[in-house]
Structure 1
Amino acid sequence: MNWKNQRRILAVHEQLHRIEMGRLSRLERRARELKEEETRIVECLDGNRKLIALFPEVVLQRLKANIRQQQELRTEVDRQTNVTLEQAKRVKQAERLVADAEMERDKAMELEALREVIEHYATPRDFSAP
């Protein structure tokens, strides 16, 4: 019964790990999008001097907001990376527990089979029958 419980625990940890990996992937994608937006803003500033004259405050505010969001997202990505790594460790631990439980189950089954063989051959036989 223990190995079945360990298998269930492993399945739960694997599912949680997939969820955390998905979260991390979404955060990393958002970080790339923000970096690309920053690059586009800077390229726009570099390439179009008229735009700078028309919308300097708006562009500057957006650039500052983008940089602030990137910093916040970096912190969140780091946190999510740590959570994901911790969940991966739990999956590995659960896998080891399952393997150990299965090994114990197999040993118990082998011992039971051996006990049955010994009992079979240890039982006195009636050889007087025709």
Structure 2
Amino acid sequence: MNWKSRRRILAVHEHLHKIEIGRLSKLERAARDLKEEEARIVGYLDGNREMIAMFPDIVLERLKSNIRRQQDMLKEVERQTDLTLEQARRVKQAERLVDNAEQAREQALELEALREILEHHSHMTDLSAR
């Protein structure tokens, strides 16, 4: 695989990593929103005892639903975190491949330049020997 191919692979992995970071950020925002909703529900419970007396099942069910969604969201955030970290590892691996390819390319160029110098010097030595 040549240097340009490895650079393209690195670019793809970097792009995928940005997508995973965006997904993780979106999930974290949704988790914070659920936590805030839970705080509002609890606030309603603390602040309006008459309303609680009228609708205990509704308020309790909404609180339970929120807690279940938070648990599901935490699992999803953990899963997305793992995906994001895995993509970050792929980016690092692709970066190493690109670095290795660049080093190999530079070494090949240096060897070619050295060959040319040696050939030129050898040719000049042959001419002077005549």
Q: How far has the Cα of 1:6 moved from its partner?
A: 0.8
Shift of 1:98: 0.3
Instruction: Tell me how far 1:91 sits from its aligned partner.
Output: 0.3
Matched, 1:77 2:80: no
> What TM-score comes out, normalization by structure 2 length?
0.94
Structure 1: state its 5+ residue gaps.
Answer: none
- Of 116-125 and 23-32, more deviation after overlay is shown by 116-125
Written as runs of structure 1 = structure 2, the 5 A alignment for 1:1-130 is: 2-123=2-123, 124-125=126-127
Higher helix share: 2
Deviation at 1:126, TM superposition (A): 6.2
Distance 1:127 1:118 in 2: 16
User: Alpha-carbon deviations, 1:5-24, whole Å to 9, x = none?
Assistant: 11011001000000000000
Separation (CA, whole Å) in 2 of partners of 1:73 and 1:94:
31
TM-score, scaled to structure 1: 0.94
- SS of residue matched to 1:125: helix
Measured in 2, the distance between the counterparts of 1:77 and 1:41 equals: 23
Regions of 4+ moved over 3 Å: none
- 1:115: Cα distance to partner? 0.4
